[in-house]
Amino acid sequence: MATELQIKPAVAAAAEPPPKPKPPPPKRVSKRKGNTSGKVMVLEYHRIVAKDTLYDRSIKKFRQDLQLLYERGYRPVTLSQYLDNEIDIAPGAIPVVVTFDDSDPSQFRFLEDGTLDPNCAVGIWETFAKKYPDFPVRATFYVLPNGPFGQKKFRDKKIQMLKDWGCELASHTWNHKSLGKLTDEQVCAELGKSIDWIRGLGFEPRHLALPYGVMPKNRALLKSFKYNGKTYGFRSVALAGAGPALAPTDEKLDPMRLPRIQGMDRDLGIRYWLEMERKMKVAFYVQP
Ligand SMILES: [Zn+2]
């Protein structure tokens, strides 16, 4: 006798995961009109310490810089995002590239108990980003083989955090020597060693900051050079000063001579250019 029971298929179709909710479209940051041919600030910081000096930014001033940038509608992008024209910030926002040189411990430090020092640069920034999530920790670090950032026991943890934040590592050479004083062979070693080491940390170093802003005698090496039988090169080379860089699509933009603005109070530093923008004396890139 036939059973009336209906036999269910043994295997139900794998349940589709529910569609991920789309993030809400980013809110317009300002009434500024879009301007993709405007200039871009590439900021340069060194140490973040208790007191301002010629090259150091104080903790207090760095915090103010973040606040000022945020209030005036700037949002961070990495150097690669800017140069590759992959600026993903909200409409009406102005991109700003924040770079740090020398991988000084004051930029990224853990306390002895393994927590992030709230007074190092990324600690200050992370606290800031908790309050303002649309200003995430997103920076380009030109590193030296000093850890990076010292504290070798925390190296892997730091590298993972940088990756999770979407930061990038770039080269600041191996020994921080003035490249103008070296032979071509020495220059290739300074750059090649640095690139190999950064690759070993899991980053592709596409950018270089020149120690002291000094070019090598043979500038063509920066684009393409050989070291240990392998070919290397950089996508961009950052100089030391002192004005905003051209728009990513500007034909005149020379990424191999990229100007930066010092995170300092002195002439032509960050505050000067923030004022220039506020007074509409310089047209910055504005996200359409
Ligand atoms: Zn340096």
Q: Note whether residue 22 is domain-resident.
A: no
The CATH number linked to 93 is 3.20.20.370
Question: What pLDDT does 24 receive?
Answer: 67
Q: Note whether residue 30 is domain-resident.
A: no
Give me the percent of the chain exceeding a pLDDT of 70.
91
Is a pLDDT exceeding 70 seen at residue 140? yes
Q: How would residue 7 be classed by pLDDT, with cut points 50, 70 and 90?
A: low
Which ranges in the chain belong to alpha helices (H)?
59-71, 79-83, 121-131, 155-165, 184-200, 270-278
Q: Note whether residue 59 is domain-resident.
A: yes
**Residue 154, domain extent:** 41-278
Domain count, the chain: 1
Average pLDDT of the segment spanning 76-84? 98
Q: Note whether residue 28 is domain-resident.
A: no
Q: Note whether residue 134 is domain-resident.
A: yes
Q: Note whether residue 226 is domain-resident.
A: yes
Q: Which two tokens stand for residue 208?
A: 């270089």
Question: What is the CA(153)–ligand 1 centre distance, in A?
Answer: 23
Q: Note whether residue 287 is domain-resident.
A: no
Q: How would residue 265 be classed by pLDDT, with cut points 50, 70 and 90?
A: confident
Residue (of 98, 19, 103) closest to 62 by Cα position: 98
Question: What is the CA(48)–ligand 1 centre distance, in A?
Answer: 14
Average pLDDT of the segment spanning 217-222? 98
Q: Note whether residue 179 is domain-resident.
A: yes
Number of Cβ within 10 Å of residue 106's Cβ equals 24
Residue-wise pLDDT for 85-94, tens only, equals 999 999 999 9
Question: What pLDDT does 143 receive?
Answer: 98
Question: What is the CA(265)–ligand 1 centre distance, in A?
Answer: 19
Average pLDDT of the segment spanning 263-274? 91
Q: Which two tokens stand for residue 70?
A: 């945020």
> Out of 1-15, 95-109, 120-134, 136-150, which region has the weakest mean confidence (pLDDT)?
1-15
Question: What pLDDT does 171 receive?
Answer: 98
Q: For the whole prediction, is pTM greater than 0.85?
A: yes
Question: What is the CA(19)–ligand 1 centre distance, in A?
Answer: 47
Question: What pLDDT does 1 receive?
Answer: 47
- In this structure, are residues 64 and 264 in contact, taking their beta carbons and an 8 Å threshold? no
Question: What is the CA(283)–ligand 1 centre distance, in A?
Answer: 29
Q: How would residue 17 be classed by pLDDT, with cut points 50, 70 and 90?
A: low
Which DSSP category does 125 fall into?
Answer: H
Average pLDDT of the segment spanning 192-204? 98
Question: What is the CA(262)–ligand 1 centre distance, in A?
Answer: 13
CA distances from 100 to 55, 71, 148, 208, 224 (A): 12, 22, 12, 12, 24
Question: What is the CA(144)–ligand 1 centre distance, in A?
Answer: 8
Question: What is the CA(237)–ligand 1 centre distance, in A?
Answer: 13
Average pLDDT of the segment spanning 170-178? 98
Which residue shows structure tokens 């080269």?
Answer: 171
Question: What pLDDT does 103 receive?
Answer: 97
